Amino acid sequence: MAGVEPNLAQPEDAHLPQGRESENAVLPIPPVEQTSVSESLLPATPDEERISVASNWTLVWWRFRKNKLALISTAILLFLMVIVLMPEFFATVDPEETDARLAFIPVQGIHWLDEGRLKPWVPGVAGKRDPVTLRMIWTTDESQKIYVRFFTPGFSYKFLGLIETDRHLIGTVDSQQASQVYLLGTDRLGRDQWSRLAYATRISMTIGMVSVILSVVLGLLLGGISGYFGGWPDMVIQRTIELLQSLPVIPIWLALTAALPRTWSPEKVFFAITIILALRGWTTLAREVRGRFLSLREEDFVLAAELSGASQARIILVHMIPTFTSHIIATSTLAIPVMIVTETSLSFLGLGMRPPAISWGVMLQEAQNIQTLALAPWLLTPGLVVIIAVLIFNLVGDGLRDAADPYSH
């Protein structure tokens, strides 16, 4: 049959290997999920809008104020700063006024109510000599009421070192009884502990803060030079840091402070101890700053500043350092209590501040023996203040450190 030959032609894909056939197969397209424009462009909430336009410092403050413990510590710290600025206002008598006959007078606590009325008073004291030891023993006598009031006249001083005044936070209604009120008792020389504590707060906290400020300045300067320029300045600075960090801290501090001449005035000793404490404190910050500069100097905004013709000083001070200022503040706040404890320890051992200067460590020298503590436990009050100051600085520092990176959570 001259029939039609069957069409033996096969599809082109039939000659391809099985693998190639699967490659050329048309895969099914998954269905696309339909989203409306209104769902993909949802309007931002008011809180999101505030965060999007807020500066970095604003974000840090918003996060810091959520830490209630840090806020309370900040309030206490501000109160201590006020005492540092004007301890004379808080003192009731001259802290250097001595009277050995009034040694170891106990604490005279303030009573706020008198016969149901708000009328603050402190109990008087009565002394009786011990027939065996011939030592005067003082006790409070609540039958003798010494009325007190606030913002009363007393000894003259210069407010903030500028304005002559005689106003004090607390004093007696009767000026003749001003020398009979000792809110925190007296020491072995009859000196008022309350007034001395106010003056000691100024010196101890100032030493700690000034030492940290010097450490921050040195750390930023040397760490910035090391990280930004590199080369031989980096090598010299890093080897110096390694040398200082290899030295034992406590023996070096003890040796340097012991070498201070005994004839130096309290002002010279103050500045010498401040420099000694800052001598090693800058090394850790310098290394942190160096690491930040090494990472920042290749960033686009730094390269743009260089191409725009900005000077190196402007690039470092205006563009690079502000990016981690909050971290520097948090680190400095945590370093202050270390300096305060160090100064207190050195002064307690007789190697730091010396009388007639008044610091927390100098006051604690009076509580070095068990006999004194048994007779006058209130002499340990400066130690309690040191604990409080260190604690609040640490709490504030922790709060600042957590708030320094507001985008971490």
**Which one-letter amino acid corresponds to residue 256?**
L
Here the tokens at position 353 are: 């501040």
Burial of 364 (0-12, 13-18, 19+ CB in 10 A): buried
Characterize the bridge pairing of strands 163-172 and 136-159: antiparallel
CA 247 to CA 256: how far, in whole Å?
Answer: 13
CA 287 to CA 291: how far, in whole Å?
Answer: 6
pTM: 0.80
Instruction: Give residue-wise pLDDT tens across range 307-346.
Output: 888 888 888 888 888 888 878 888 888 888 988 998 888 8
Here the tokens at position 42 are: 């949802």
Instruction: Give residue-wise pLDDT tens across range 246-304.
Output: 888 878 888 888 888 888 888 888 888 888 888 888 888 899 889 988 888 888 888 89
- Residue 3 pLDDT class (50, 70, 90 cuts): very low
CA 352 to CA 207: how far, in whole Å?
Answer: 11
Mean pLDDT of 160-181: 82
Pick one of 3.40.50.300, 3.20.190.10, 1.10.3720.10, 3.40.50.150 as the CATH number of 68-85+195-403.
1.10.3720.10
Reference 173, options 148, 151, 143, 142; nearest CA is: 148
10 or 398, greater pLDDT:
398
Sign of the CA dihedral running 255, 261, 265, 267: negative
- Tokens 């040398």: give the residue: 243
| Helix, coil or strand: residue 250 | helix
32 or 196, greater pLDDT:
196
150 or 326, greater pLDDT:
150
- Max CA pair span of the chain: 154
Reference 333, options 280, 249, 284, 392; nearest CA is: 392
CA 287 to CA 284: how far, in whole Å?
Answer: 5
Reference 50, options 65, 42, 66, 62; nearest CA is: 62
CA 167 to CA 370: how far, in whole Å?
Answer: 38
Instruction: Give residue-wise pLDDT tens across range 56-77.
Output: 778 778 888 888 999 999 999 9
